[in-house]
Structure 1
Amino acid sequence: MKIFKFGGASVKDADTIKNVVKVLKNEGFKNTLIVISAMGKMTNAFEKIVDAYYNNSEDLATNINSVRNFHITIIENLFEDKKQPILFELELLFGQLSGFLAINKSANYNYIYDQVVGYGELLSTKIISSYLNTIGILTKWIDVRDFIKTDVSYRNATVNWQETKVNIQILDSQNLYITQGFLGADSKGKTTTLGREGSDYTAAIFAHCLGAESVTIWKDVDGVLNADPRYFKETVLLNQISYNEAIEMAFYGASVIHPKTLKPLENKNIPLYVRSFYNLKNKGTTVGKVPNLLPETPCFILKNKQILVSITALDFSFMVEHNLSDIFKILHNYKLKVNLIQNSALSFSVCLEDKFNNFEAFLSQIVSKYNVTFVSNVALYTIRHANQKAIDLVEKKGTVLLKQSTKGTVQLIMQ
């Protein structure tokens, strides 16, 4: 089978959904499974619903109606017959959402998040499957939660590979399947999510379990670029990237490929293609058993909204193993992602990502044991295959607070 993954930008409105049809007709869709994300910025919109519900805000009903109207507008622009059964299915899904919000007793934000945000993927796949069937491309819609099973780590669930493989391997390769990215289910059937941008990972899970021919991620760019064009004026298309190099780039925060996506593909030598859904003649980027990087060029990875924390012992003793073990335990307890560390005799510096908004709680605990200073809202630049010209380019973007070099890789924290 082939696995296609379409992200939110590729299904953001009626025109882009019709463009998906062009992609399928151009590439062929026999023996294919399609993974689809929420439409456009709908994950953000559902996050607003979660926040309004959690904070008991008066905006809850408005936010829900806004999301409903967005999807109804797309349906009206897609279908000629305005009395489509998909409208009933849409209202059924919103009824399920309202039902959960009415009966939920949990105060766990992460649990609530996963039960609500996943409706973005359910809506997008229902609408697109219905549209394809209407125009004669027969699809089989499947609920990914029946196949991908996980633990209960809401918002960042770990896949139960053994159970997931058994579930996925029953699929008939003769069908054209459509399913949701990003989602799974725990042992009790409760929705879990695989982390933001987890739809790429979903595609890799299916590919691995099915022994797929390939995975193609369709995006609004020509492929994997050596830098984000929003922050760097001159970018280069990377024609080929090895699995190892792509994993390194993902580890440092390259947003084009989800960090968990690559290992399941490498284990079965399944190539990953990153291509433009606008420019179908362009072959994009191939990730696989290929030379490390073609062309060889510096690659720039930017992570914004970082926190630089410097920690010293209260008695100015050395920062050694027992101190570091204690600090990392506290960081783990508050789910703070560590993106860079630097250690000296008396101090320990760490660049953090606070995606669960736990930094204040972390700070209140650690200041009882250590001297702590921090700088918020800094930028972490990572340069792979760095040369002096590339380093100079980044250093012109602000004040360097910390710089660290290893073989071929330079990281700079900038303010």
Structure 2
Amino acid sequence: MQIFKFGGASVKDANGIKNMVSVLQKVGYNNTLIVISAMGKTTNALEEVVHNYFNNKKELQSSLQEVKKYHNAILLDLFDNENHPAFKDVASLFDELNTFLKTNKSPDYNFVYDQVVCLGELVSTTIISNYFNTIGIKNNWVDAREHIKTDSYFRRGNVNWEKTTRLISKNINKSILNITQGFLGSDANNFTTTLGREGSDYTAAIYAYCLNATSVTIWKDVPGVLNADPRYFENAQLLHKISYTEAIELAFYGASVIHPKTLQPLQQKEIPLFVKSFLEPEKPGTKVGKNVAIEPNVPCFIVKKNQVLISLSSLDFSYIVEENISEIFNLLHIHKMKVDVIQNSAISFSVCVDNIYNNLEKLIQQLKSKFKVSFHSNVSLFTIRHYNNNVINQLEKNKTVLLKQLTQDTVQIITK
């Protein structure tokens, strides 16, 4: 089988879905499973629903209605008859969510988040599956939650590979086009879990691994993997080929084209990954594979905004030793901080973190009981792979550098 993944930008409206059909007709879709994200900015809109559920009940129904209205407009553009089953199928999903919001007793934000935000992928795949069947592209709608089993770490579920492999290999009919949701799984109690933002790429890799797929193709609104995000850097270049190792390095440092967890299962089975443009589907894009030298060999730039740089030193000027570092990392783990950079000297320790779960204040309070603490919020972390002095100087121009760390292939610079 081959696995295709289409992101939210590719299916943001009826024209996007029709273009998706055009892509499939050009490249072929025999023995294919398609992983699809929520349409457009639906995930953001559903995050607003979650926010209103906890903080602004008066706006809850109106924010949910906005999501419904957006999808209803797409339904009306795709289907001539409002009696088409797609309308009823989508309405049923919204009814399920409304029932959950009325009956839920859990105060756990992360649990509620996963039960709400999953609506985006469920609705997008329901609409597209119905549309494909209507125009003669016969397909099977697959509920990813019945196949991808995780623990109960809501918003960043960890895959149970043994169960997931067994369920996918047993239940996927390879002889028909399959359409499923990215980003979603379920725990042992069958509550919905999510795999982390941008987790749809990871979903594609999970299915590829379990089905021994021949390839995975991620369809994007860019020509492939670029050496820099064109929103932040001028003259971004297309990388024609990169190795799994290079792609994993780029993903680890935050390159947004490929999800960090996507590459490991593909590398284990040497399944090639292609990143292509859904606007120019017949162009080769980028190939990620085994023992492939980076082509062209140019510096690669990654930026992560809204980071927090925390600097610690001991209260009595004693050394920061293994025991202290272990304690620091334990607190970072407890407060679910994603660590991006660490740097330590004899009497100081600095760490740059992503405050995904908004636990910074609690973390700082606990650290202050043992250490002298200072921190900078809203800093930017720049990573350059295959750097040279010229590109470093160019990047640092007109910026306040708070921390810099160099290895043989990589430099990381934190700026205010």
What's the TM-score once normalised by structure 2's chain length? 0.99
- Give the SS at the match of 2:383: strand
CA distance in 1, matches of 2:251, 2:355: 18
- Give the SS at the match of 2:164: helix
Match of residue 129 from structure 2: 129
Match of residue 329 from structure 1: 330
Letter in 2 for 1:360: E
Letter in 1 for 2:82: K
Match of residue 186 from structure 2: 185
User: Does residue 1:299 correspond to 2:288, yes or no?
Assistant: no
CA distance in 1, matches of 2:365, 2:279: 49
CA distance in 1, matches of 2:27, 2:81: 28
Equivalent residues in 2 for 1:14-413, closer than 5 Å: 14-170=14-170, 171-396=172-397, 398-413=399-414
CA distance in 1, matches of 2:305, 2:216: 29
Letter in 2 for 1:372: V
Listed one character per residue, the Cα deviations across residues 87-117 of structure 1 (whole Å, up to 9, x for unaligned) are: 1111111110000011101000000000000
- Give the SS at the match of 1:148: coil
Listed one character per residue, the Cα deviations across residues 50-79 of structure 1 (whole Å, up to 9, x for unaligned) are: 110012431101101000000000001111
By how many angstroms is 1:291 displaced?
A: 2.3
By how many angstroms is 1:281 displaced?
A: 2.7
Say whether the 8 Å CA contact 1:244–1:292 is kept in structure 2.
no
Say whether the 8 Å CA contact 2:27–2:282 is kept in structure 1.
no
CA distance in 1, matches of 2:397, 2:339: 25
Listed one character per residue, the Cα deviations across residues 339-393 of structure 1 (whole Å, up to 9, x for unaligned) are: 0011011110110100111111111111111110011100000000001121122
- Give the SS at the match of 1:70: helix
CA distance in 2, matches of 1:299, 1:46: 33
Say whether the 8 Å CA contact 1:338–1:351 is kept in structure 2.
yes
CA distance in 2, matches of 1:209, 1:222: 28
In structure 1, the gaps of 5 or more residues are none
Listed one character per residue, the Cα deviations across residues 244-273 of structure 1 (whole Å, up to 9, x for unaligned) are: 000011001101000000010011110000
By how many angstroms is 1:397 displaced?
A: 5.1
- Give the SS at the match of 1:58: helix
Letter in 2 for 1:265: L
CA distance in 1, matches of 2:227, 2:393: 16
CA distance in 2, matches of 1:305, 1:204: 29
Letter in 2 for 1:15: N
CA distance in 2, matches of 1:240, 1:80: 44
Q: Which deviates more, 212-221 or 277-286?
A: 277-286
CA distance in 2, matches of 1:397, 1:208: 46
Say whether the 8 Å CA contact 2:26–2:282 is kept in structure 1.
no
CA distance in 2, matches of 1:236, 1:336: 32
Equivalent pairs: percent with the same residue?
Answer: 57
By how many angstroms is 1:298 displaced?
A: 0.2
Listed one character per residue, the Cα deviations across residues 18-47 of structure 1 (whole Å, up to 9, x for unaligned) are: 000001000111100000000000000000
By how many angstroms is 1:282 displaced?
A: 1.4
Say whether the 8 Å CA contact 1:240–1:290 is kept in structure 2.
no
Letter in 2 for 1:267: Q
CA distance in 2, matches of 1:32, 1:389: 46
- Give the SS at the match of 2:57: coil
In structure 2, the gaps of 5 or more residues are none
CA distance in 2, matches of 1:188, 1:331: 28
CA distance in 2, matches of 1:124, 1:290: 37
Say whether the 8 Å CA contact 1:36–1:121 is kept in structure 2.
yes
User: In 2 relative to 1, CA 28–397 (structure 1 residues): closer, same or farther, beyond 3 Å?
Assistant: farther
Say whether the 8 Å CA contact 1:312–1:371 is kept in structure 2.
yes
Q: Which deviates more, 353-362 or 397-406?
A: 397-406
- Give the SS at the match of 1:169: helix
CA distance in 1, matches of 2:6, 2:127: 14
CA distance in 2, matches of 1:56, 1:279: 43
CA distance in 1, matches of 2:201, 2:152: 20
Letter in 2 for 1:95: D
CA distance in 1, matches of 2:293, 2:131: 41
- Give the SS at the match of 2:233: coil
Q: Which deviates more, 284-293 or 260-269?
A: 284-293
User: In 2 relative to 1, CA 32–397 (structure 1 residues): closer, same or farther, beyond 3 Å?
Assistant: farther
CA RMSD of aligned residues (A): 0.8
